[in-house]
Amino acid sequence: EDQVTQSPEALRLQEGESSSLNCSYTVSGLRGLFWYRQDPGKGPEFLFTLYSAGEEKEKERLKATLTKKESFLHITAPKPEDSATYLCAVREYGSSNTGKLIFGQGTTLQVKP
């Protein structure tokens, strides 16, 4: 069964304390892996798409990487405004249903000043 698992479920950091979030996936074929940020009461905000193992994407303090079985979201010197839930999702290869993403349960990040 296709699934996406994120760890840890919750993460508390001090401002400036770098860390990584993990997303492990099991799908028959990966067409794309997506990272989203979700603030309380809001919809997910798109961050990155990764397509193949070895690929990396960066945006400000965030860097996403991809291997054949997992993806990492590295947060360098985080600030309190980086506090949010980070969601990982995958799109399966070969599916004509391009609107379907399989999401993990998310990692809730809290950055304290």
Partner 1 sequence: DAGVTQSPTHLIKTRGQQVTLRCSPISGHKSVSWYQQVLGQGPQFIFQYYEKEERGRGNFPDRFSARQFPNYSSELNVNALLLGDSALYLCASSITGGAGAYNSPLHFGNGTRLTVT
Chain residues binding partner 1 by CB under 8 A are: 4, 31-32, 34, 36, 41-46, 49, 51, 87, 89, 91, 95-106
Sign of the CA dihedral with 1 first, then 96, 102, and 73 last: positive
**Inter-residue contact 110 to 10 (CB < 8 Å):** yes
- Closer to partner 1 at the Cβ: 41 or 54? 41
| Least CB distance to partner 1 at residue 64 (A) | 13
Give the whole-angstrom CA distance, residue 102 versus residue 26. Answer: 10
Q: Which is nearer to partner 1, 49 or 76 (CB)?
A: 49
Least spacing, CB of residue 7 vs partner 1, in Å: 13
